[in-house]
Structures are given as C-alpha cells and as structure tokens.
Amino acid sequence: MMKRILTFAGFSVGVGLMLFSILQTAAAQQPQPAKAPQPPARVADPAYKQPMTPWGEPDIQGMWPLSHLVTTPLERPAKYGDRAYLTDEEFKAAQQSAAASQKQKASGAIPVSENGGAIRQTSLIVDPPNGHFPALTDYGKQLQSKLEGSYKPGKTVFDGIEDFDAWDRCITRGLPVSMEPRNYNNGIRITQSPGYVILLIEMAHEARIIPTTPMPPLDPAIKQWLGESRGHWEGNTLVVETKNFNGITELTSAGVPGSPRPLQPSSPNMKITERFTRTGPDTMDFSMKVEDPTVLATGSFTVAYPMQLDNSYQMFEYACHEGNTAVRNYIETSRFERAKKAQTPGAK
C-alpha cells in the first residue's frame, strides 16, 4: 500500500513539473506588452559650443515660439498611462497629422492657427508621472468654486467686471500659463543685457524682466500679476525663481490644449522655478516646476518641453484692449436675456 502511495505521489510531481514547463513555454510564446519607449537619447553635437554674450553670460537670445507644441496636450491622455513618449509609429503619425494641418491652413481650408510640427512627448506635464494635473486641496476646491470668467462651465450671468477673470479683461494669462502654448500668438522673444534677461511674450503683451545678478528680494507684501523673478546661471543653464504672486490668475487656461476643466486656481504662496538650457544652435530645453501647496494636494507639478529657435517668426503688437467690446457685450446680453426671462410668464 505504501509503495502505491509513493508511486502515485511521484507520478503527480512529474505531471506537475511537466504542466509547469508547458505553461512556461506557452507564456513565453504569448505576445508581451510593449515596453514604454525611453526618452530619446540626446546626441551631443561635438561642433556646438554655447555662445556667450560680450559681457560673459551664456547667450540664449532669439525668437523661441511655442507653435511646435500645439499638438501636444498639457495633460496626458489616459491611453498612454505613465508612458511619457510616443512610439516611433505614433510619432510618425503625429508628424503626418501636423503636416496635413499645415497644408490645410496654407490653403485656407481651416482657420488661421499655429501648428509648427510635433514632439515625442505624450504631454507637457512630466511630473506627476501620469502626466495629470494634481488633485486640489480642500481649500483649493473652495477657491475653484469661486473662480469667475467667460470660460467657467455653465456660467450665464454677467453683471459686472467681477464676473470676468484677468484673461477676459486682457490683463494677463499669468504664470505658468504664459509659458505654455495655444493655437495662435505663441511668440516668445528672449533678449539680454548685462545682468538681465528679458522675455517678451506675444500673448498678452507681457515683458518679464529677470535680473541675473544678486538683487534683494521684494518685500513679501508686494504682490504682482506675474510675480517677481530672480535669475542666476548654473553653468550654461538659466535658473529663474519667481515668487510674490497676487494669487488672482489661474494655474491653467482653457486656451492651452489639453488643459483640465474646470480651471485650476492659484494662491499668493505659489513659487515657480524655470530652467533654460541651450542644447544646440536651434534648440533649448525648458522646464517649469510649479509649487503651490496651498491649492495642490501633492504640492507641485512640472511642465517641460524642447524649445526651437525660429527667428523668421513675426511677432506683432497684441493690442487686446483696443476695440475689445467682449466684456461689455457679455454684460449687455446677459442683462437682456435675464430681463426678457423675467417678463415671460412661467419662464425658469
């Protein structure tokens, strides 16, 4: 009897090992999920040397429009998960789509817009790793509920200037939005003088004046629309830290492709750290870490993208205020519609 038991046990072990081997072989033959592509390796140009200004600072001057970023959303589409870069096939398709859009624009088949190509990134937000805008704190949600403006979903009552945001009123898009693309007016011109870097931003008529030599910080009580920037050089990298925001502008804009809805608020405690590193005659890496623990549950998010030099880009005056009747028209139309509804029996 014991012999039979041992024989059966040995047979069972043998069968089990055989089945395990079969399953291993079958699993190996199954198509495996494609690995997320790694960031394209940057090939250093041995002939490239960082140009310097006559006063000895790295020269990053020129026209650096963001038109080539229009096809890349701020937030990453869910289908990419944590994958930060397009596959070769996806990138080729994105390039073909951008070229077709350019052809349609040139023929007048679609409205005038700026679309200068495609990049390999699946989103402009690179941190958090999923490429999504961070969740808001409870206080951030309270601020969000109080945001006003023509882009607020479902908003129909406009009765005064307080019903509009800074963008509606042509004041500013604020930061970080001013350093993000939209479908037109993407010009950014960088100029330099001894101890200063100036960023001229086409939309909406911004001039960011950034000292690059030690200067005392502003009194924290002084708040500004674009904050107060201080820059310094770390090797060939320009590092810009900006504080003293007034907390009135939003962290996102409906005009930036792939932005979350509804809009996301900011606070006066926001701090932004930008890094500009020229990588070749016509290329520069840019990153922007936005920290605002008052409204962001995880404390921060980071936007990054490659910049491309295009000195042929023409940047004209952005005279948003001149002839701007949109705010008045919103108010007059809203008042008319509400008055008409009040005179209509049974109207809700």
pTM: 0.83
Residue 108 lies in a domain: no
- Could you give the maximum distance between any two Cα atoms of the chain, in Å? 103
The pairing of strands 62-63 and 125-127 is unpaired
Residue 54 lies in a domain: no
Residue 312 lies in a domain: yes
Q: Tell whether the model's pLDDT for residue 336 goes beyond 60.
A: yes
Contacts with 39 (C-beta within 8 Å, 6 or more apart), sequence order: 84, 85
Residue 92 lies in a domain: no
Encoded tokens for 108: 């007048």
CA angle 206, 212, 217 (to 5 degrees): 80
Q: Where does the pLDDT of residue 183 fall: very low under 50, low under 70, confident under 90, or very high at 90 and above?
A: confident
Identify the H or E element spanning 190.
Answer: strand 188-193
Q: Where does the pLDDT of residue 321 fall: very low under 50, low under 70, confident under 90, or very high at 90 and above?
A: confident
Handedness of CA 256, 258, 263, 265 (dihedral sign): negative
Amino acid at 139: Y
> For residue 153, is the peptide bond before it cis, meaning its omega torsion is within 30 degrees of 0?
no
Higher pLDDT, 105 or 193: 193
8-22, 127-141, 301-315, range with the lowest pLDDT: 8-22
Q: Tell whether the model's pLDDT for residue 6 goes beyond 50.
A: no
36-40, 131-135, 215-219, 295-299, range with the lowest pLDDT: 36-40
Residue 37 lies in a domain: no
Q: Where does the pLDDT of residue 325 fall: very low under 50, low under 70, confident under 90, or very high at 90 and above?
A: confident
Handedness of CA 58, 59, 61, 66 (dihedral sign): negative
26-35, 36-45, 109-118, 194-203, range with the lowest pLDDT: 26-35
Contacts with 237 (C-beta within 8 Å, 6 or more apart), sequence order: 275, 276, 277
Q: How many domains does the chain have?
A: 1
pLDDT in tens, 102-152: 676 655 555 555 666 789 999 999 999 999 999 999 999 999 999 999 988
- What is the average pLDDT score of the chain? 85
Neighbours of 78 (CB within 10 A): 9
Q: What percent of the chain has pLDDT over 90?
A: 65
Q: Chain-centre distance of CA 293, in angstroms?
A: 19
d(C-alpha 140, C-alpha 266), whole Å: 8
Residue 162 lies in a domain: yes
Residue 31 lies in a domain: no
Q: Tell whether the model's pLDDT for residue 7 goes beyond 50.
A: no
Phi, psi dihedrals of residue 85, rounded to the nearest 5° = -130, 150
**Contact present, 125 and 76 (Cβ < 8 Å):** yes
d(C-alpha 48, C-alpha 227), whole Å: 35
Contacts with 154 (C-beta within 8 Å, 6 or more apart), sequence order: none
d(C-alpha 61, C-alpha 315), whole Å: 15
Residue 20 lies in a domain: no
Give me the domain span that covers residue 319.
62-85+121-328
